[in-house]
Amino acid sequence: MASHTSTSTTSLQSGKPMAPPSSAVIKRLQSELLALMSSPTPGLSAFPTTSLTLWTATLAGPSATPYESLTFKLTLSFPSNYPHAPPEVLFKTPIYHPNVDMKGRICLDILKAAGSGGEGGGWSAALNAETVLLSVQSLLGEPNNASPLNGEAAIVWDRDMEEFRRKVLARHQEPEELDA
């Protein structure tokens, strides 16, 4: 695992360099990675890419949702003060969803730091990469249409599920298509 301990990371959203992670952050991420590998959760996986603080994840669309049988690629970028601040999580797979914008940014309470945006975020240091991914997976089947990033998707979700599924399939690309 030492090969993944690069000292610099970049914010996924701003592209700006972030401070190098501390040994406590590295140790926490190593522990989380070991837990994910030793007790895999069906429908999700995550592995470091260029550093231990930048992960690529895959999620299976939950059954009985418009995303059933689809696979999604995401990136997780862990800040230098993780777990006291949430990771940045972005969909890399194009997705049509009320709480995900066209750039892959996700509106989910647990991805907001406490006190951010004028309101309390739901992030807690007790959460981890697996709980974040499970929450994102759950969001696929249970969007928060009261606070959409994609207003059209929220309206279509509420009015016409068949049309919503058509829009999901029109936008979706399988992860291997993204790598080509």
Measured CA to CA, the distance from residue 60 to residue 83 in angstroms comes to 25
Catalytically annotated residues: 107
Structure tokens at 41: 């959760």
What was the pLDDT predicted at 94?
96
The string of pLDDT tens digits covering residues 49-97 is: 989 999 999 999 999 999 999 999 999 999 999 999 999 999 999 999 9
What was the pLDDT predicted at 18?
61
The segments of the chain whose pLDDT lies below 70 read 1-19, 115-120, 180
Q: What's the Cα-to-Cα distance from 29 to each of 23, 44, 83, 174, rounded to whole Å?
A: 10, 17, 9, 27
C-beta separation of 12 from 79 below 8 A: no
Q: How many CB atoms lie within 10 A of CB 124?
A: 12
Q: Which domains does the chain have, with CATH numbers?
A: 2-179 (3.10.110.10)
What was the pLDDT predicted at 17?
58
What was the pLDDT predicted at 8?
47
What was the pLDDT predicted at 25?
94
